[in-house]
């Protein structure tokens, strides 16, 4: 029986993540007048803070959706906290004055749930995978579907084996 190919690793340092979040803010700066950010917790908290600072946005709301329960695979989605009605009302009938920010769109399951809550919002992520990309309006970097992104808040300082030791061939 053949072993499945391990997922590709894409480790992201704090410096790189900060640069990518600023690049996202730069792209968003010319796309509208943003009145509020809704960040998808927990991954969207850090990019939302950086984008809010860069664009001068003071109203920041959260929507709490849990999908990665074991840090390895996506499980059933659970909306722990929905978007506040004041933010929903702010966006109603105005086009996209509300930004939804997340670190990553993977399969698009979380994005669909949040888009149902805020159908007129502008959805932006730092990273996008092909399955979820159609649900995102703006992103910085696309990675393959079989890539696992290691965010800086998930990592410690340890040895990383060379890529050649992780491949079969």
- Selected catalytic residue, list 15, 20, 89, 102: 102
- Selected catalytic residue, list 89, 106, 116, 146: 106
Q: Round to the nearest angstrom and report the end-to-end CA distance of the chain.
A: 15
CA dist., res. 111 & res. 51, Å (int): 19
Mode of pairing for the β-strands spanning 74-81 and 60-68: antiparallel
* Domain ranges across the chain: 8-152
Of the listed ranges 30-39, 81-90, 133-142, the one predicted with least confidence: 81-90
Q: What is the mean pLDDT of residues 37-42?
A: 96
Q: pLDDT at position 67, please?
A: 72
CA dist., res. 76 & res. 40, Å (int): 16
pLDDT at 169 over 70: no
102 catalytic? Reply is yes
Q: Are 130 and 142 in contact (CB under 8 A)?
A: yes
**Choices 3.30.930.10, 3.30.530.20, 3.40.50.2020, 1.10.357.10: CATH for 8-152:** 3.40.50.2020
Q: What is the mean pLDDT of residues 9-30?
A: 96
CA dist., res. 128 & res. 134, Å (int): 9
Q: pLDDT at position 88, please?
A: 82
106 catalytic? Reply is yes
- Selected catalytic residue, list 20, 70, 84, 103: 103
pLDDT, tens digit, for every residue of 43-90? 999 999 999 999 999 999 999 998 765 555 556 888 999 999 888 887
70 catalytic? Reply is no
């Amino acid at each position: 029986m053949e072993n499945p190919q391990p997922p590709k690793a894409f480790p992201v340092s704090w410096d790189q993540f900060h640069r990518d979040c600023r690049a996202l803010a730069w792209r968003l700066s010319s796309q509208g007048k943003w009145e509020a950010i809704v960040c998808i917790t927990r991954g969207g908290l850090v990019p939302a803070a950086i984008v809010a600072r860069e664009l001068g946005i003071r109203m920041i709301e959260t929507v709490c959706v849990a999908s990665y329960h074991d840090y390895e695979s996506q499980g059933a989605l659970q909306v722990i906290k929905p978007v506040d009605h004041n933010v929903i009302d702010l966006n109603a009938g105005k086009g996209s004055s509300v930004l939804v920010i997340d670190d990553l769109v993977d399969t698009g399951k979380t994005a669909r749930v949040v888009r149902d809550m805020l159908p007129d919002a502008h959805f932006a992520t730092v990273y996008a995978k092909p399955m979820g990309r159609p649900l995102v309006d703006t992103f910085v970097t696309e990675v393959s579907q079989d890539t696992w992104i290691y965010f800086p808040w998930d990592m410690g300082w340890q040895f990383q084996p060379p890529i050649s030791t992780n491949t079969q061939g």
